[in-house]
Amino acid sequence: MAGSGNNHLRENTDDTLLRVENLVVEFPSGRRNKVHAVSDISFDIMEGETLGIVGESGCGKSTTAKAIIQLPKPTAGKVEYQGTNLTELDKEGMRQQRPSIQMIYQDPISSLNPRRTVFNIVNEGTRVWSTEHGAAQEQKVDEMIEAVGLDPREAKTRRPHEYSGGQCQRISVARALVLDPKVIICDEPVSSLDVSVQARILNMLQDMKEEYKLTLLFISHDLSVVKNVSDRVAVMYLGKICEIGDGDLIYEKPTHPYTRLLLAAIPDPKNKHKDITDILEGELPSPLNPPSGCRFRTRCPRATEKCAAEEPEFRQIGNDDHWVACHFPHIEGDDLGPNDEISWPPDPQK
């Protein structure tokens, strides 16, 4: 496997709000195969902290997010929320935890009930979960709808299909925020928003973080957005975490070959990593039959036999909050990196 070991986990204290250990999620595929969507990943999030997750499409980000709220229950591993292992809870136990863990789903339009008015959609959760009632609660719903930039009066009669894509996304944000959750798991919460509305929502999340110690797991393909909102960032590839740590460090000095390629591809004329010319090519690996050793090796410009034989363990870079799972990371003063030309193409032998 690629990226093993739990060296990068911090001490489990009262401040640890969410701690995911050795999470595995597999889906059956066809009669005999299975999709290794998430393979043995671990991370922790402190109260009031934001962990950003980035990574290749299909690498298991949404699956990780959903596994936290037990949809579906993971194949193996632990999801500890404020000291409770959620994987051991029954339906009722999980129901009690749900108001404080909210999720914003990736597909904004299809995750909203098309037959209900937008007001009712946002109100839905409060009716089930909230302690407030009647006018006070309705006012809160209105305020939240307004806070995401929509007109609360219109929300009373209009249904999701009468709104634009970005407006639907804001409805899901409002629906999650109105319940005063402790954690919000955001799967691409701003992908359909124009940059101005996006800025407004990101500022709002930041305010809630400062005011109520809101904790966030934030998945996005927009690397500038992830950098802005996150304290720490995890980079995923094919069901594994390959680099994790302080966001500014990872963006400043990416060390995993995949992280470097990812940052190099950001379409921004001022991107300072754009000169990294290693090309991401090679055989596209399959989550049905992931490569042995390091999962990135089939496309990695630095791969050697060792990468096929052994899965790299997380190692710390200096004394920083910066961890990488790679045999040959790009670390200054570290001359472990083999000559790229000699090692390419990697040995396809397993």
Partner 1 sequence: MSHETETPSTLLKLDDYRVGFRTERGLAKAVDGVSYELNSGKTLAIVGESGSGKTVLNRGIMGLLGSNINESGSVKFQGEELVNTNRQKFWGKKMAMIFQDPMTSLNPVMKVGKQVSEPLRLHQGMSRKEARHRTVELFTLVGIPEPSQRFDEYPHQLSGGMRQRVMISIALAIEPDLLIADEPTTSLDVTVQKYILDLLVEVQKESNMAMTIITHDLGVARGRADEILVMYGGRVMEHAPAETLFNEMAHPYTSALLSSIPKLDDPKHTRLTPIEGFPPDIVDGPDGCKFAARCQYAQENCLSELPDTTVKGDHSYACFYPIGTDEGAKAFASNAERGHTAAGLKIRAKEEVI
Ligand X SMILES: Nc1ncnc2c1ncn2[C@@H]1O[C@H](COP(=O)(O)OP(=O)(O)OP(=O)(O)O)[C@@H](O)[C@H]1O
**Which spans of this chain sit near ligand SF4 (rule: CB under 6 A)?**
256-257, 294, 296-297, 300, 302-303, 307, 312, 326-328
Residue 296's binding partner among ligand X, partner 1, ligand SF4, none (Cβ under 5 to 8 angstroms by kind) is ligand SF4
Residues 299-328 close enough to bind partner 1 by CB under 8 A: none
The amino acid at 197: V
The amino acid at 109: I
Smallest gap, in angstroms, from Cβ of residue 324 to ligand SF4? Answer: 8
Task: Between 15 and 146, name the residue whose CB sits nearer to partner 1.
Answer: 146
State yes or no: residue 248 binds partner 1 (CB under 8 A): yes
Residue 126's binding partner among ligand X, Mg ion, partner 1, none (Cβ under 5 to 8 angstroms by kind) is none
State the DSSP H helix or E strand holding residue 121, giving kind and residue range, or none if neither: helix 118-129
State yes or no: residue 225 binds partner 1 (CB under 8 A): yes
Q: β-strands 50-55, 215-219: how paired?
A: parallel
Q: With helix as H, strand as E and coil as C, how does 179-221 read?
A: CCCCEEEEECCCCCCCHHHHHHHHHHHHHHHHHHCCEEEEECC
Q: At what angle do helices 118-129 and 165-177 cross, to 10 degrees?
A: 20
Q: Applying CB under 8 A, which part among 75-83, 243-251, 312-320, 331-339 lies near partner 1?
A: 243-251
Tokens coding 183: 């954690």
Q: Do the beta carbons of residue 254 and residue 243 sit within 8 Å? A: yes
Residue 328's binding partner among ligand X, ligand SF4, partner 1, none (Cβ under 5 to 8 angstroms by kind) is ligand SF4
Which residues make Cβ contacts (< 8 Å) with residue 57, sequence separation at least 6? 221
Nearest to 42 by CA among 25, 22, 26: 22
Smallest gap, in angstroms, from Cβ of residue 172 to partner 1? Answer: 12
Residues 154-213 close enough to bind partner 1 by CB under 8 A: 157, 162-168, 170, 188, 191-200, 202-203, 206
Residues 1-40 close enough to bind partner 1 by CB under 8 A: 27, 29-30, 33
Contact residues toward ligand X (CB under 6 A) are 27, 35, 37, 57-63, 106, 162-167, 192, 194, 287
DSSP-based three-state secondary structure for 143:
helix
Which of 3, 74, 77, 108 binds partner 1 (CB under 8 A)? It is 108
CA–CA separation, 227 vs 254, rounded Å?
Answer: 13
Q: Applying CB under 8 A, which part among 76-84, 118-126, 258-266, 305-313 lies near partner 1?
A: 258-266
DSSP state of 284: P
- The angle subtended at Cα 214 by Cα 204 and Cα 99, nearest 5°, is 105
Task: Between 225 and 244, name the residue whose CB sits nearer to partner 1.
Answer: 225
CA–CA separation, 139 vs 126, rounded Å?
Answer: 12
Task: Between 200 and 213, name the residue whose CB sits nearer to partner 1.
Answer: 200
| Interface residues toward partner 1, by CB under 8 A | 27, 29-30, 33, 54-58, 62, 106-110, 149, 151, 157, 162-168, 170, 188, 191-200, 202-203, 206, 221-225, 227-231, 247-248, 251, 261-262, 265-272, 280, 284-288
